[in-house]
Structure 1
């Protein structure tokens, strides 16, 4: 492990508020012998958020009586990052399969030798399965491929049709798509009309909207060649000011990220729209149900996104060098990411697949999603995926989003600062945490 990687590990652990850990334990166990195929073993897997894998685990265990899957799901991608880097720093504790999120893939690539090269397990034979940039993202500087692609994050707009109707606005999907078609300025213009009419918020909080606005740019917090790209970035600041003006005018509901008052804010009309990459559909449904709502609450999904195509998120399944069951783990990860399983995953959780065949299946499938007012969510996401190319994510991308802009935008949401003050707070945190 090189000096830069060691430094990054310490910074990551510090930002996650974990205790300092020695880095001497980063050795691999690459010489561990593989088990016979009929040996009874337990495979551990760590995912995060809403992966939709529960039924697939049962299906795999039924077909492989010698395999028991022990699953651990962490609530958010940020907490999963903390968990992964803490265990990498300790040199032990990682599951046989670890889900890696797009936002911290750049940091993982600095310690990519922690994970096996999946070319040793035949992933090159499947290279054509995925959209090319998904496979390329999981390839490190030495040409090692460290992840089986799961989903990508093409985005549409979730909206509460009942709230739109109460405001005298059109609520059918086609009309909403037409209403919101255009750039972010148009989205906030319509939002201001909604807020003025109802006295209620347009979006849940500024952080998620900001993440979507940044992800849509050709270059976000980093340039394509890996340089920090925040200070002096006029395009980024212009977008921040546009969002800030909308927030200052009452369009934000100032919700805490990943909380939403236990789901009640999705049910009681606290806000009317929500930025929705495919994987967020499962989050919305889970929050509505947690808040006491159901399909009749009125949430819908429109084939539109301000500014056009955007990708937020996506993940990979990786096999740590510390796994004692690398071959069996690779077989399971390979199976979970096959097109057939990706379609099932999408049905279970709304995640949009990264394999071309699965995408084509969903594009041709207009099956209505009962929870989202019978919206053909799979087909809509297939349409939203057109033109999507993932943005380069640097090593501290998720730190900048969550620990730099997150607090600044929360302060703006709560009225504790204005837009300029929030921008300056973000730059101060950037210099303190990232440098």
Structure 2
């Protein structure tokens, strides 16, 4: 086990270990579960996974199996939880959700996870889009994660706010406004300035999510494809940073707190007009609107367009830690939860987009319009946005760089406490302190 790496990531996350979830009963070679041999399987997810009904369905189909579910508040806390328990060598659930942003860190300790090839992964690999299955495979060919959702990006916009600014409100017209297939970030920021001049209000919620989207779109992000850091001296990345910094300096950021938005208030009070929307973000916005007492009347919609073209942000995997005392049963549960039929149900419950081909096709054919987003044809839009997506290589400290290196620097821009040069220099300083020199 690479304890130094585990300790470093745990320290960077800056949080204590969450409560330990009890492991399943019995040893690895115990008799199969059944009515006369009941077992418990533990599962840890984060955020909005939409699994509650699926757990009940699995228990009904598998007498003798009880699922104990633990959901961690957010990906960052889930990462802390996982690495704290990996470092301790105990406490992990039988099935653990892993977010794409910290999958690279998990790959550095992939020997601490069950090789799902030993439980039939090769027989079902064609379920997934090829790059998703490849993401869950380590350099030695061990499959350590079954893909859940993916995060093709579209653009959410508030039609009522657009109308007040004299902008079109029909989602197809909005897509053309941004440039359709030729949409660019330059157009995105120019429209933001037009909106700001007409209303005096911010365009986007905060800079960090926009930046994350811009970086995810590059052929190579924080790391090169061969695993080298790719930030200092990266002229293309710096140019994108300057483009964002200029927009924020012009008053386009609402300086919201990530994943908070004033407990959803900012989505109902006109604080900003557009939001970058990987498919799973619709579920997050739904939760925020519900928290703030908002609904379809708040004016949110989603358009089949994204600045700069195809982009993927996020998505997750289900993994089985080597500490599971029931690896075969845990692997079976992970395979069932990520099978196409279950991914369709998960998508309906969590407003995310599946990573299996059959589930994607069914959602396009049968998905109901999303009432909360002005009856947007959810399946068609995100299937369209998934075309051309190629997963970017994520290095071991990718999520650390996004959350602990660039997020603080971008906050300087949002707060108006630093220029583009000062914010970039702060990011480089943090990069060296937290990643390069550790």
TM-score > 0.5, shorter chain as reference: yes
2:145 maps to which of 128, 144, 147 = 147
**Matched residue, 1:9:** 6
Distance 1:137 1:34, change over 3 A: farther
**Matched residue, 2:91:** 93
Q: State yes or no: 1:179 paired with 2:180.
A: no
Q: SS of the counterpart of 1:61?
A: helix
Q: State yes or no: 1:32 paired with 2:33.
A: no
Give the Cα separation in 2 of the matches to 1:366 and 1:324.
39
8 Å Cα contact 1:350/1:378 also seen in 2? no
TM-aligned CA deviation for residue 19 of structure 1: 6.6
Alpha carbon RMSD of aligned pairs, Å? 1.5
Give the Cα separation in 1 of the matches to 2:277 and 2:115.
33
Measured against aligned partners, the alpha-carbon deviations of 1:376-417 in whole angstroms (never above 9, x if no partner) come to: 111110000000011000000000000000001112101111
TM-aligned CA deviation for residue 18 of structure 1: 4.5
**Matched residue, 2:368:** 367
TM-aligned CA deviation for residue 366 of structure 1: 5.3
8 Å Cα contact 1:362/1:378 also seen in 2? yes
Give the Cα separation in 2 of the matches to 1:330 and 1:194.
50
Give the Cα separation in 2 of the matches to 1:160 and 1:174.
14
**Matched residue, 2:271:** 270
8 Å Cα contact 2:15/2:77 also seen in 1? no
Give the Cα separation in 2 of the matches to 1:35 and 1:275.
49
Distance 1:419 1:137, change over 3 A: same
Q: SS of the counterpart of 2:405?
A: helix
8 Å Cα contact 2:27/2:325 also seen in 1? no
Give the Cα separation in 2 of the matches to 1:34 and 1:386.
45
**Matched residue, 1:284:** 285
1:79 maps to which of 77, 80, 99 = 77
TM-aligned CA deviation for residue 56 of structure 1: 1.1
**Matched residue, 1:396:** 397
Give the Cα separation in 2 of the matches to 1:84 and 1:121.
23
TM-aligned CA deviation for residue 31 of structure 1: 7.2
TM-aligned CA deviation for residue 10 of structure 1: 1.8
User: What pairs up with 1:61-76 in 2 under 5 angstroms?
Assistant: 61-76=59-74
Unaligned ranges ≥5, structure 2: 18-25
TM-score (norm 1): 0.95
8 Å Cα contact 2:405/2:430 also seen in 1? yes
Q: SS of the counterpart of 1:190?
A: helix
Measured against aligned partners, the alpha-carbon deviations of 1:252-288 in whole angstroms (never above 9, x if no partner) come to: 0000111100100001000011100011110011101
**Matched residue, 2:221:** 220
Distance 1:327 1:174, change over 3 A: same
8 Å Cα contact 1:119/1:145 also seen in 2? yes
Q: State yes or no: 1:130 paired with 2:128.
A: yes
**Matched residue, 1:25:** none
Distance 1:349 1:19, change over 3 A: closer
Give the Cα separation in 2 of the matches to 1:34 and 1:237.
56
Give the Cα separation in 2 of the matches to 1:160 and 1:290.
18
8 Å Cα contact 1:100/1:317 also seen in 2? yes
8 Å Cα contact 2:27/2:326 also seen in 1? no
Q: SS of the counterpart of 1:44?
A: strand
TM-aligned CA deviation for residue 183 of structure 1: 0.5
Distance 1:35 1:297, change over 3 A: farther
Measured against aligned partners, the alpha-carbon deviations of 1:205-259 in whole angstroms (never above 9, x if no partner) come to: 0000000000000000000000000000000000000000000000000001111
Q: SS of the counterpart of 1:261?
A: coil
8 Å Cα contact 1:352/1:381 also seen in 2? yes
**Matched residue, 2:20:** none
Give the Cα separation in 1 of the matches to 2:32 and 2:430.
51
Give the Cα separation in 1 of the matches to 2:227 and 2:4.
17
Unaligned ranges ≥5, structure 1: 21-29
Give the Cα separation in 2 of the matches to 1:339 and 1:34.
29
Give the Cα separation in 1 of the matches to 2:55 and 2:31.
20
8 Å Cα contact 1:363/1:383 also seen in 2? no
Q: SS of the counterpart of 1:203?
A: coil
Give the Cα separation in 2 of the matches to 1:327 and 1:290.
40
Give the Cα separation in 2 of the matches to 1:161 and 1:58.
38
Give the Cα separation in 1 of the matches to 2:47 and 2:155.
19
Q: Which region of structure 1 is more displaced relative to structure 2, 298-307 or 34-43?
A: 34-43
Measured against aligned partners, the alpha-carbon deviations of 1:337-356 in whole angstroms (never above 9, x if no partner) come to: 11011111111112111111
Report the number of matched residues: 424
User: What pairs up with 1:235-314 in 2 under 5 angstroms?
Assistant: 235-314=236-315
Deviation beyond 6 Å, 4+ runs, structure 1? none
Give the Cα separation in 2 of the matches to 1:16 and 1:341.
32
TM-score (norm 2): 0.95
8 Å Cα contact 2:33/2:65 also seen in 1? no
8 Å Cα contact 1:34/1:326 also seen in 2? no
